[in-house]
Structure 1
Amino acid sequence: MKPITEFKTKFEQHQIIEETTTTPLIMEGQYQRAYENLLDAYHAGLYAGIVGPVGSGKTALCRKFAEDHSLGFSWVTFSDLIRPSSLIGTFDPTLVFKVGYNIDAFIPGPFTLASIEGNIFFANEVNRGEEYVLNTLLDALEEKRLYIPQLKSWITLDENFYFIASMNPSDLRGTRVLPEAFKDRIRVWITLDYPDKEVEKKIIRMNCPELEITDEDLMTLIEIVSQTRQSPVISKPASIRTSIGFAKMLGERCRRLQISPTKEIFKDVGQLVLTQSLEFSPGITPDNVLNEIIERAFHK
């Protein structure tokens, strides 16, 4: 089979035609409260911002909210690379060559599509975006209309359109202070933190149904993760995604060796999973910090 033909076959086998999966989320504690706050903001017609550390479940919460309300879900993760055209859209050069600079050659961006289709638009890590990029959204968020400069036209937003922004803590590297004009258009602010240990245990079990370690060993793992979030020498601690990865790797190691996890296995797997997932203060040796954390977790 020729490479291009083989790729086409594989592409068609794996192409996502329609999203059919549901977003798993433990609706307890802070997640239940945040969901209810988001629900009230939505029905009040007030755009919402969710503030919380990386990997605390902000995106999962918003995805589930969209699914529960049968709304489309579009998102962009903001960074220095995002430009207004990344949100609004741009011309396809090939189509421009054929039909010229008109609507038939225009490829709408995710914000434009959400605006006219009445979907939820999720601005992920919005405080990593450039101010001039955020400014392109001001009219849409205030006056319910969007200017598309490529088409020299204004469009009205669909009445079902809804905007949610997420922010990382302001002390995290790479973040910026949100412009006041943009911040003023977000009327409801919801805070998420890392979940408590019992909820995190349920999250890990839900995402790792094949996991065969005991609750006691899993709570030891969660204690290790929790201590990374409290350490003064760790600037970026373990996220929930890291917890899940840690549990999967630990479970697989123990399955292969056919033993229960020991302190040494925790240290070995912890080094593999945590070293590059965390960010440490300058001059700190990650291996030493992680070993100390694991030792403390075993003596609690």
Structure 2
Amino acid sequence: MAVHAFRQLRDFLNSQVIGQPELVEHLLIALLADGHLLVEGPPGLAKTRAVNALAKGIEADFHRIQFTPDLLPADLTGTDIYRPETGEFKFQRGPLFHHLVLADEINRAPAKVQSALLEAMAERQITVGKRTYPLPALFTVMATQNPIEQEGTYPLPEAQLDRFLLHLELDYPDAETEQQILRLTRNESIQGESQMPQPLSQNAIFAARQACLSLHMEDAVEHYLVQLIMATRKPQAYDDKLASWIDFGVSPRASIALERCARARAWLLGREFVTPEDIAAMAHNVLRHRLILSYQAEADGISANQVLDKILELVPAP
């Protein structure tokens, strides 16, 4: 029954966001695996629309934050406001206290703002002055960055990149999909946006997360997952060329993320067990942003995707 509800939600999102099934699937996986999503792609690919549609499909509120170089940490977290009628300071909550937060063009904000967001993503809390405030139990950040424009941007530090469960790369839709988008926007202008029949409750989401964690995973499949991680840390054991491409492998947080995402994918597909295909299917989006490549890889024009292709080729699946 719970899987059916999530499939209905997926169908609704696909009807609202044409031509981005991978974005829709990974939004649901991030929701099930209780993690954050970094989306990289050109402007106008319905990233904001996708999160807005997700907020309509579940019992959650949504807030979009446009990141700019003059943004301050208090613009995210909130701040203490003086009330002259009482002579006291009262905390005014910021946009991070919403369930779904879209951090648009995240790499345009300076280090202090990144630090405030990092605490929220990692600890599910924010600190203002001497006080710490917990964030909602359901809290997901979807951040976007534009790969085309790099002027006035601040590259995300490795520690913050590691906090993102998934890194998704989007591309433009094909001609047929583009026509479908035109028809959808035309129909909405005439009829208005369609509504999700029955929004998913937060309790249903938490129950689905527990169901994902209870899926069966064979020791051999778990061993395969760990070997993929080890191949990023000790690539010389697999291939000399691979070793020359990697400076630093992925963290234990990557292992946890890969397992959770593979479980979420298997659950969405209606299975009661995790397969090596689930792990391989999630490997690129979970590990891509966590790999630190060498100067040799850059000189050879090797991308993180190509390194992961090589690892999946070298590590035998059970």
TM-score normalised over the length of structure 1 = 0.54
Change (3 A) 1:164 1:27: closer
Please tell me whether the aligned partners of residues 18 and 181 of structure 2 are also in contact (alpha carbons under 8 angstroms). Answer: no
1:207 aligns with 2:185: yes
Q: Which residue of 2 aligns with 1:108?
A: 93
How many corresponding residue pairs? 178
Question: Over aligned residues, Cα RMSD in angstroms?
Answer: 2.4
Please tell me whether the aligned partners of residues 65 and 103 of structure 2 are also in contact (alpha carbons under 8 angstroms). Answer: yes
Pick from 122, 133, 142: which aligns with 1:155? 133
1:83 aligns with 2:72: yes
Please tell me whether the aligned partners of residues 78 and 92 of structure 2 are also in contact (alpha carbons under 8 angstroms). Answer: yes
1:101 deviates by 4.1
> In percent, how many aligned pairs have the same letter?
31
Please tell me whether the aligned partners of residues 56 and 194 of structure 1 are also in contact (alpha carbons under 8 angstroms). Answer: yes
Post-superposition Cα deviations, 1:209-241, rounded to whole Å, max 9, x if no partner, equal: 499xxxxxxxxxxxxxxxxxxxxxxxxxxxxxx
1:38 deviates by 1.6
Letter in 2 for 1:196: D
Q: Secondary structure at the match of 1:207?
A: helix
1:107 deviates by 2.1
Change (3 A) 1:42 1:166: same
1:98 aligns with 2:76: no
Please tell me whether the aligned partners of residues 107 and 153 of structure 2 are also in contact (alpha carbons under 8 angstroms). Answer: yes
Letter in 2 for 1:36: E
Gaps of 5+ in 1: 1-21, 212-300
Q: Which residue of 1 aligns with 2:103?
A: 123
Q: Secondary structure at the match of 1:65?
A: helix
Q: Which residue of 1 aligns with 2:161?
A: 183
1:143 deviates by 2.1
- 1:82 and 1:23 map into 2 onto residues whose CA distance is 31
Change (3 A) 1:172 1:56: farther
Q: Secondary structure at the match of 1:154?
A: strand
Q: How is 1:3-152 mapped onto 2 (pairs within 5 angstroms)?
A: 26-29=16-19, 31-92=20-81, 95-103=82-90, 106-111=91-96, 113-114=97-98, 119-149=99-129, 152=130
- 1:122 and 1:170 map into 2 onto residues whose CA distance is 20
1:166 aligns with 2:144: yes
Q: Secondary structure at the match of 1:42?
A: helix
1:123 deviates by 0.8
Letter in 1 for 2:158: E
Change (3 A) 1:192 1:147: same
1:28 deviates by 4.7
Post-superposition Cα deviations, 1:86-132, rounded to whole Å, max 9, x if no partner, equal: 1111344xx533333422xx322111x22xxxx11111110111111
Q: Secondary structure at the match of 1:164?
A: strand
Please tell me whether the aligned partners of residues 18 and 180 of structure 2 are also in contact (alpha carbons under 8 angstroms). Answer: no
- 1:96 and 1:69 map into 2 onto residues whose CA distance is 35
1:171 deviates by 4.2
Gaps of 5+ in 2: 1-11, 190-318
Please tell me whether the aligned partners of residues 42 and 148 of structure 2 are also in contact (alpha carbons under 8 angstroms). Answer: no
Q: From the CA coordinates, give the structure whose radius of gyration is larger.
A: 1
Q: Secondary structure at the match of 2:83?
A: helix
1:24 deviates by 9.2
